[in-house]
Amino acid sequence: MIRILLSTKLGERRWTQADLARATGIRPSTINELYHELATRVNLEHLDLICEALDCELSEIIIRIPNKVPETRTRTGQPKKSE
């Protein structure tokens, strides 16, 4: 599972979502999706802008937590049926 730790990082800096949107030029709705971990896709340029604005490394705002039960998928992205 991928976790976006933007809310934590903004809290540490005492920044609002609006502060980050102004500093990066990223739409507030996009910042909100990242903040609440609702984003299903992330723009690499946005990540770069966020890291630059917050003066942090990517690993400070995005982490991977291994899944408890690995899920295997087919080429089309559909979950494989249990045999």
What is the mean pLDDT of the segment spanning 33-51?
Answer: 97
* CA-closest candidate to residue 35, choices 6, 10, 63: 6
**Structure-model confidence comparison of residues 68 and 72, the more confident one:** 68
Q: How many angstroms separate the CA atoms of 14 and 25, rounded?
A: 19
Which residue(s) pair with 62 in the sheet? 4
**Domains in the chain with CATH codes:** 2-64 (1.10.260.40)
Query: What distance separates the 2 farthest-apart alpha carbons in the chain?
Result: 51
Residue 63 pLDDT level (bands cut at 50, 70, 90): very high
Is the entire prediction scored with pTM above 0.85? no
Which residue(s) pair with 63 in the sheet? 3
